[in-house]
Structure 1
Amino acid sequence: MNFDTASLPPVVQNMLGYALQVWDIAKVWVLSPAAWSQFGLLLAAFAASYVLNKRLRPLLERILTPEPGKTSILSTIRRFVLIFVPLLLPLLAWGFTAIGEQATRALFGSGAVIAFGKRVFLLLAARILVQEIITDVFLRVLGKTILLPIMVLYALGLLDYATAYLNEMTVSLGNIEFTVMAVIRGVIAGSILFWLGRWSNDQTGSYLEKQEELRPAARQLATKAAELTIYGIAFILLMSIIGVPLTSLAVLSGAIGVGLGFGLQKIASNYISGVILLLEGQATVGDYVELDNGMAGTIVQTTARAMILETYDGRWIVVPNEDFITTRVINYSDQGSTNRYEVPFSVSYKTDINKIPDIIESAVAKHPAVLSDPFPPDCEFRAFGDSGVEFAVEFWVNGIDDGRHKFSSDVGFLIWNALRDNDIEIPYPHRVIEMRTPDT
């Protein structure tokens, strides 16, 4: 049946042309003895692969499975290789088919059918890779939307045609013109590069966090520097892959510099302040700090722009890094240094105050968190008050007197019990009221 295709759209004409080519190839394969022999070889290769896979796969799984709990490098490598065992069947079939292809080309001078089968086995391997092996959500989506369609085109022998067609399609944005193939190549390369960047950044961060000989601030600075380096290299590689000359980035960097100078001053200031804080190590994750404006909390996270403080009531406060540089900051933690606190109290004027220091100091020293170094508890006379003699006991502890620690409260109880056990009165205000009556 003949019909005129000239009136059809070019895309439809191309599809019809490819369909006719496939029909002609199918008729040749059906009527050719060489094609039937290649089909037989494909079936034999798959059958041999299936039998060999049934025998080899349990053996490989037993060899590659490490003992539970082992974390050595060899065990890690074995676990990684074990993930790819499901690819054994299609790869064995591909290998046997490649051997059969050489034989058929030597005997018949043709191997189109068996070459098609070899590509189908690779498509099967790609499908198993995406469906069963890849666990990362982003990579799985990338495999389903990009890898599998490419492998289908490759198996059908249409990949070269599709590539040529996409290279002819152009997209214009003002004076810039690029092909659809360049866009697709950029998306694929960018996705892979930045996924690798994220993965390598996570691995680098985990490695640096284990280096306990480095100060926490130094570890954070090294992590940030590694992150900038990794993503910078990924960006430069992506520009090279999609064909953007690196010299043109000078114009972009100039524009960014102007933007920083006018609209992004605060962001730039906070970023530079964050680098200074990491270099000096004056405040890092885990420190309890109090700012000049009264805000206080434990630093739970540092970012390029700000530090996040968590208060003891569970609230998070985002403090710009610049505030840590331009204002006064009290760091109570300072990487585990001790802190001094005091608890005031008073005793009655009837008391022999010469006994008070020994009684209170020995009582406070019994608290398990109170330190004897740098100084033991010290009870000091402060003043003759309105209602009694005023004292205060100073003591040193590791940590902050808030949240899970209640040092001052515990010491207050110890003082009360010590004074009560020694029959020492704690005074309270007394007032004398004179009632006068007018002379009559």
Structure 2
Amino acid sequence: MISGMDAEYTALLAEARDLWALIRLQFQNLLLPSRLWQVAILVAIFAAAHLVAAIARPRMREWMRGLENRPTWQLRLLLTINRRLRLLVFTVLVWIAVWIAREASPFPSRSFLLALAASLALAWVAVIFAARLVRNPVLRSVVRWGLWVYVTLVVLGVADEVGGALDGVAFSFGSFRLSVLTIIKAVVILSALFIVARFVAAGSAERIRRNEEISPSMRVLAVKVLQIVLYGAAFFIGLKVVGVDLTGLAVLSGAIGVGLGFGLQKVVSNLVSGVIILLDKSIKPGDVISLGETFGWVGTLGARYASVTTRDGKEYLIPNEDLITGQVVNWSHSNTFVRLDITFGTAYGDDPHKVRRVAIEAASAVERVLTTRPPVCHITGFGNSSVDYILRFWITDPAGGLTNIRGNVYLALWDAFQEHGISIPFPQREVRVLNDAIRVEDGLAKGEG
């Protein structure tokens, strides 16, 4: 007596043998003596396509080097054509051979093998260009090879038999049955839906970013919400189409969510902080901020962190939680006006009224210093060797740097003081060695005695 497991295994083995017999029969049918001349033609066409591609590919690359100003999508298309030139030439030549064979013979079945090869080649070419829609290289390769296998089975006419064999390899969990065919369908459908969602999200995000009526922070928030909605809808629709019970999935995802909530507190905190930042508009892309020793402008606001680029080209990824809980100086929160202070000192012999006037004129002549908000200069104290001043001026482009504008103002003060005879004193000290003086006086006293 055969057990249930043995019976299922025997049935699967029988189906696999039938499928292999069908495939073997198809190939034997293709290699009948009456069709060997078509095989010879296909070999000749492949050799000709290989020769044409070997000659034309380097010349095409040289021609493409002069097209650097073309749009990126055109360059990618030309690069794909260059890489697949042999298959493209083979497809064109084999279709020409099919047309000639059908015109020369009144029996289309005699050119069956050529027509089959032409259909396969055309389908493979279509798959190559369709796979270019996927940006990720690894995912693109998976999609390309998967579609190649599928269209090959469809053209050969064994897709239903292969599908039945794959559906027979299954695992049962209570009332839920999971087969290899179901897994493949889920991967294909989810991949297709995610690709569609990515295109819709990219197009919608571009329109949102170009809308000047929406604030920058709300644009980022709208793009993030749109992406979450589209990708989430693609995921659940894909599972529903495949036939997965979403009720059980909801219970399972709830249990997993509770467990992950305890282990991912920081991640969740950063996500919530990112939403708060986007809603209260305290920080937005393009703002100039300083957090601790980091000074730069905000490039992007992500779900977990904010990208801040400094003047020296470094890009800091600051967690959103730090922007909420820490003290952040936003130089351009409500407006772009920034006041800068520099200090200096002059000698006591210089007229302080003249010094203030010359300093204000020198600062006003520096590029980036505002004249609508004129600089001011005040005396802050009388030091040990100089009269101390503070010079204050305004700029509206803190992203252009603060150290460089301070340096330019200091240089303008130096040139103006040199021109007007104003001196900048420096401390001087006199050192007297008292012990040597005492020894000299004692020696003179002893000599006189």
Q: For residue 245 of structure 1, what is the aligned residue in structure 2?
A: 245
- Contact kept? 2:299, 2:307, Cα under 8 Å: yes
Match of 2:120 among 120, 123, 148: 123
Structure having the higher helix fraction is: 2
Structure 1 residues 20 and 182, CA gap change in structure 2 (3 angstroms) = closer
State the shift of 1:222 in Å.
1.8
State the shift of 1:153 in Å.
1.9
Counterpart-to-counterpart distance in 2, 1:305 and 1:237: 27
Q: For residue 366 of structure 1, what is the aligned residue in structure 2?
A: 365
Q: For residue 305 of structure 2, what is the aligned residue in structure 1?
A: 306
Amino acid at match of 2:157: G
Structure 1 residues 10 and 401, CA gap change in structure 2 (3 angstroms) = closer
- Contact kept? 2:343, 2:389, Cα under 8 Å: yes
**Does 2:339 align with 1:340?**
yes
1:219-258 aligned within 5 A: 219-258=219-258
Q: For residue 326 of structure 1, what is the aligned residue in structure 2?
A: 325
Amino acid at match of 2:345: S
Structure 1 residues 132 and 225, CA gap change in structure 2 (3 angstroms) = closer
In structure 1, list runs of 5 or more residues that go unmatched: 1-5, 32-38, 40-68, 105-110
Q: For residue 163 of structure 2, what is the aligned residue in structure 1?
A: 163
Amino acid at match of 2:410: G
TM-score scaled to structure 1, two decimals? 0.72
Amino acid at match of 1:399: D
- Contact kept? 1:284, 1:302, Cα under 8 Å: yes
- Contact kept? 2:336, 2:398, Cα under 8 Å: no
State the shift of 1:152 in Å.
2.1
Counterpart-to-counterpart distance in 2, 1:304 and 1:210: 21
**Secondary structure at 1:307's aligned position in 2?**
strand
Counterpart-to-counterpart distance in 1, 2:266 and 2:139: 37
In structure 2, list runs of 5 or more residues that go unmatched: 1-9, 39-68, 82-87, 443-449
**Secondary structure at 2:267's aligned position in 1?**
helix
Q: For residue 284 of structure 1, what is the aligned residue in structure 2?
A: 284
State the shift of 1:181 in Å.
0.8
State the shift of 1:304 in Å.
1.1
Structure 1 residues 19 and 401, CA gap change in structure 2 (3 angstroms) = closer
- Contact kept? 1:308, 1:318, Cα under 8 Å: yes
State the shift of 1:259 in Å.
2.6
- Contact kept? 2:340, 2:394, Cα under 8 Å: yes
Counterpart-to-counterpart distance in 2, 1:402 and 1:143: 46
Structure 1 residues 220 and 19, CA gap change in structure 2 (3 angstroms) = closer
Structure 1 residues 276 and 119, CA gap change in structure 2 (3 angstroms) = farther
Structure 1 residues 387 and 405, CA gap change in structure 2 (3 angstroms) = closer
Q: For residue 202 of structure 1, what is the aligned residue in structure 2?
A: 202
- Contact kept? 2:308, 2:315, Cα under 8 Å: yes
State the shift of 1:256 in Å.
4.0
State the shift of 1:322 in Å.
0.7
Q: For residue 385 of structure 2, what is the aligned residue in structure 1?
A: 387
- Contact kept? 2:288, 2:398, Cα under 8 Å: yes
Counterpart-to-counterpart distance in 1, 2:261 and 2:150: 46
TM-score scaled to structure 2, two decimals? 0.70
1:32-431 aligned within 5 A: 122-131=119-128, 134-135=131-132, 136=134, 137=137, 141-142=141-142, 144-172=144-172, 177-291=177-291, 293-334=292-333, 337-373=336-372, 375-400=373-398, 403=401, 406-431=404-429
Amino acid at match of 1:128: V
- Contact kept? 2:273, 2:324, Cα under 8 Å: yes
Post-superposition CA distance 1:37-57 (Å, at most 9, x none)? xx9xxxxxxxxxxxxxxxxxx
Post-superposition CA distance 1:75-129 (Å, at most 9, x none)? x9xx9xxx9xx89979x99xx9xxx9xx99xxxxxx9999998776543321221
Structure 1 residues 133 and 11, CA gap change in structure 2 (3 angstroms) = closer
Counterpart-to-counterpart distance in 2, 1:434 and 1:154: 104
Moved more, 329-338 or 11-20: 11-20
State the shift of 1:368 in Å.
1.8
Counterpart-to-counterpart distance in 2, 1:353 and 1:148: 85
State the shift of 1:246 in Å.
2.5
Post-superposition CA distance 1:315-370 (Å, at most 9, x none)? 33332101111121101233860211011111111122122222111111111210
Counterpart-to-counterpart distance in 2, 1:362 and 1:23: 93
Counterpart-to-counterpart distance in 2, 1:261 and 1:237: 25
Q: For residue 52 of structure 2, what is the aligned residue in structure 1?
A: none
Post-superposition CA distance 1:364-413 (Å, at most 9, x none)? 1111210023x211111111111121111100012338758611111111
CA RMSD of aligned residues (A): 4.6
Amino acid at match of 1:10: A
Counterpart-to-counterpart distance in 2, 1:70 and 1:427: 61
Counterpart-to-counterpart distance in 2, 1:23 and 1:406: 76
**Does 2:14 align with 1:10?**
yes
**Secondary structure at 1:406's aligned position in 2?**
helix
Structure 1 residues 117 and 404, CA gap change in structure 2 (3 angstroms) = farther
Amino acid at match of 2:404: K
Structure 1 residues 133 and 89, CA gap change in structure 2 (3 angstroms) = farther
**Secondary structure at 2:340's aligned position in 1?**
strand
- Contact kept? 2:355, 2:422, Cα under 8 Å: no
- Contact kept? 2:131, 2:144, Cα under 8 Å: no
Structure 1 residues 401 and 407, CA gap change in structure 2 (3 angstroms) = farther
State the shift of 1:158 in Å.
1.4
Structure 1 residues 227 and 24, CA gap change in structure 2 (3 angstroms) = closer
State the shift of 1:140 in Å.
5.3
